[in-house]
Amino acid sequence: MLLGLTGGRLLPSPRRCLLHCRHIKSAATAASGVGDGVLSAFRSICGEDGVSLGEAVREQHGKDESVHRCRPPDVVVFPRCVEEVSALAKVCHKHRLPIIPFGTGTGLEGGVGAVKGGVCFSLRNMEQVLDLHPEDFDVTVEPGVTRKALNAYLRDTGLWFPVDPGADASLCGMAATSASGTNAVRYGTMRENVMNLEVVLADGSIVHTAGKGRRPRKTSAGYNLTNLFVGSEGTLGIITKTTLRLYGIPEAMVSAVCSFPSVQAAVDSTVQTLQAGVPIARIDPEFLDDVMIDACNRFSSLSYPVTPTLFLEFHGSEQSLEEQVKTAEDITQSNGGSDFQWARDTETRNRLWKARHDAWYAALALRPGCKAYSTDVCVPLSRLPQIIVETKEDLIENRLTGPIAGHVGDGNFHCLMVVDPNNPEEMHRVHLFTERLARRALAMDGTCTGEHGVGLGKRALLCEEMGPVGIQVMRSLKDTLDPNSLMNPGKILQREEP
């Protein structure tokens, strides 16, 4: 099933998202392997309060913000430190119990579902910001620390962590899913910004992917374990610390909006702006298509022309920004774009970008009572116009609502599919659509997932994307690091039942 995403980051906290949970086991049972002996061992490690069998707790840990159905674990544990994570994992290993790491539950591909039952490791009690080194532009955080919490913590340092997937996700969770978002062209994704990880492996041993406490800005010391675990979605180990690169907060930011006669013109403008801009500035263009901008106009009482639209943000010094905006304006106009609307101060910038920020709500408002989820294919820049045009035709042909928003500087875009989850026929049409879209991206040298990960939803597509040898290599890595298939089983790789 490719029906992965609700973009639920805008939904209420997962702790209250119990509406669509089904198939909930009544309690941990001996049959599940989580017997009294195991529970007693868990309690001796992280205390009475650190182990929960409650139905509500298990349910809230059985789903993320996607439309994948709730698959609650048999038990949820709440370790307070890496030593407890390790000790709990050793118990699971001894009893061959699945381990599912849980950060904030803001994933979009069903990554936390306990498809084989087992033990959910909720890491919310590990929420320390550790080892901030402002002069070295790095910080180490525990898995309970979210993106916004870190940036609040950093407020007085002049530094920030820019990777922004929208959700206020756990930074270790973002490492686990190789997240990115709106700032990737400027600052890179998690892959480029994680310097070291502490990981508890399936047998409970603890590894530091770049050596314990190490934080050089570059290294050639052996295999790159850090980037093996970034994006491994909990299937190779539990990330218990991540060391991140930080950046100086730019002296100034300018936001701008511009309308274009066609998708091609908007993308041409993007490519040329990046080409001119890469050496001088941090520019990150966001794209909304005509359907999306129309929805945003209705939702937020705006009056943008109903045509493909670029939202730009420039980061730099006061003086450099003027030059950059001018360069971008020239390029824009040469591609038939309208005059820039642009803004410097935070308030006006936020007003200008309101359409982009509200896109998800605006899409949902197109069909009240429906749910939404998001595709996330990514293709080389030059293929963007064609894939967007073909995808829009496909949407119309198949009577589907799917306004498009994209991190267009990366070639990554989302169809925000608005569907009635109680209409199986429509859900099926959407499923077929998303598969066609993914295959269209694959045929254009792209990927089925630019930033949401594989999880449950894209396992079959991953096989098409990688080919049999690539999948075999991935499987062999998984088998090596997790020979008993305990780590978040059923995710990324499809596997026959044991």
Residue ranges in 246-305 that form contacts with a copy of itself under rule CB under 8 A? 247-251, 271, 274-276, 278-282
Residue among 219 and 297 whose Cβ is closer to a copy of itself: 219
Indicate whether 219 belongs to the interface with a copy of itself (CB under 8 A). yes
In sequence order, what DSSP letters do the residues of 152-204 get, joined into one string? HHTGGGTEE-----SS--BHHHHHHHT---TTHHHH--HHHHEEEEEEE-TTS
Indicate whether 379 belongs to the interface with a copy of itself (CB under 8 A). yes
Indicate whether 454 belongs to the interface with a copy of itself (CB under 8 A). yes
Among 301, 480, 496, 497, binds a copy of itself (CB under 8 A): 480
Of residues 87, 88, 141, the one with CA closest to residue 119? 88
Q: With contact defined as beta carbons under 8 Å apart, do 495 and 485 qualify? A: yes
52/232 Cα distance (integer angstroms): 26
Give the shortest CB-89-to-a copy of itself separation in angstroms. Answer: 13
Task: Give how far the C-alpha of residue 296 lies from the chain's centroid of Cα atoms, to the nearest Å.
Answer: 23
Residue among 300 and 449 whose Cβ is closer to a copy of itself: 449
Give the shortest CB-107-to-a copy of itself separation in angstroms. Answer: 11
Q: With contact defined as beta carbons under 8 Å apart, do 452 and 190 qualify? A: no
Q: Which two tokens stand for residue 317?
A: 């010094």
Residue among 344 and 351 whose Cβ is closer to a copy of itself: 344
Residue among 12 and 216 whose Cβ is closer to a copy of itself: 216
For 116, residues 6+ apart whose C-beta sits below 8 A from its C-beta are 98, 489, 490
User: Which of the stretches 72-80, 143-151, 373-381, 395-403 binds a copy of itself when contact is defined by CB under 8 A?
Assistant: 373-381
Residue type, 495: R
Among 39, 302, 365, 477, binds a copy of itself (CB under 8 A): 477
196/201 Cα distance (integer angstroms): 15
Q: With contact defined as beta carbons under 8 Å apart, do 176 and 492 qualify? A: no
Indicate whether 220 belongs to the interface with a copy of itself (CB under 8 A). yes
Which element (helix H / strand E) includes 244?
A: strand 238-245
Residue among 468 and 498 whose Cβ is closer to a copy of itself: 468
Give the shortest CB-196-to-a copy of itself separation in angstroms. Answer: 9
Residue among 53 and 253 whose Cβ is closer to a copy of itself: 253
Indicate whether 319 belongs to the interface with a copy of itself (CB under 8 A). yes
Indicate whether 138 belongs to the interface with a copy of itself (CB under 8 A). yes
Give the shortest CB-87-to-a copy of itself separation in angstroms. Answer: 16
Q: Which two tokens stand for residue 141?
A: 């955080």
Among 48, 303, 347, 469, binds a copy of itself (CB under 8 A): 469
Interacting residues with a copy of itself between 63 and 122 (CB under 8 A): none
Q: With contact defined as beta carbons under 8 Å apart, do 448 and 462 qualify? A: yes
Reduced to 3 states (helix: H, G, I; strand: E, B; else coil), residue 226 is helix
Residue among 50 and 173 whose Cβ is closer to a copy of itself: 173
Indicate whether 37 belongs to the interface with a copy of itself (CB under 8 A). no
Give the shortest CB-50-to-a copy of itself separation in angstroms. Answer: 25
Which element (helix H / strand E) includes 404?
A: strand 404-407
For 2, residues 6+ apart whose C-beta sits below 8 A from its C-beta are 375, 431, 434, 435, 438, 457, 458, 461
How many Cα atoms sit within 13 Å of 119 on the Cβ side? 30
Taking residues 165 to 184 in sequence order and writing x for each that binds a copy of itself by CB under 8 A, - otherwise, the string is ------------xxxx---x
Task: Give how far the C-alpha of residue 275 lies from the chain's centroid of Cα atoms, to the nearest Å.
Answer: 27
Residue among 73 and 101 whose Cβ is closer to a copy of itself: 101
Residue among 49 and 345 whose Cβ is closer to a copy of itself: 345
Give the shortest CB-19-to-a copy of itself separation in angstroms. Answer: 27
Residue among 129 and 228 whose Cβ is closer to a copy of itself: 228
Indicate whether 332 belongs to the interface with a copy of itself (CB under 8 A). no
In sequence order, what DSSP letters do the residues of 253-272 get, joined into one string? EEEEEEE-SSHHHHHHHHHH
Residue among 188 and 421 whose Cβ is closer to a copy of itself: 188
Indicate whether 130 belongs to the interface with a copy of itself (CB under 8 A). no
Indicate whether 12 belongs to the interface with a copy of itself (CB under 8 A). no
Indicate whether 451 belongs to the interface with a copy of itself (CB under 8 A). yes
Instruction: List, in sequence order, every residue forming a beta bridge with 286; answer none if it has no partner.
Output: 311
31/308 Cα distance (integer angstroms): 56
Q: Which two tokens stand for residue 12?
A: 């209420």
Size of the site for a copy of itself (CB under 8 A): 103
233/101 Cα distance (integer angstroms): 9
Indicate whether 156 belongs to the interface with a copy of itself (CB under 8 A). no
Give the shortest CB-461-to-a copy of itself separation in angstroms. Answer: 8
Question: How buried is residue 302: exposed, middle or buried, by Cβ count under 10 Å (0-12/13-18/19+)?
Answer: middle
Among 72, 113, 173, 316, binds a copy of itself (CB under 8 A): 316
Interacting residues with a copy of itself between 185 and 214 (CB under 8 A): 188-189, 191-192, 201, 205-214
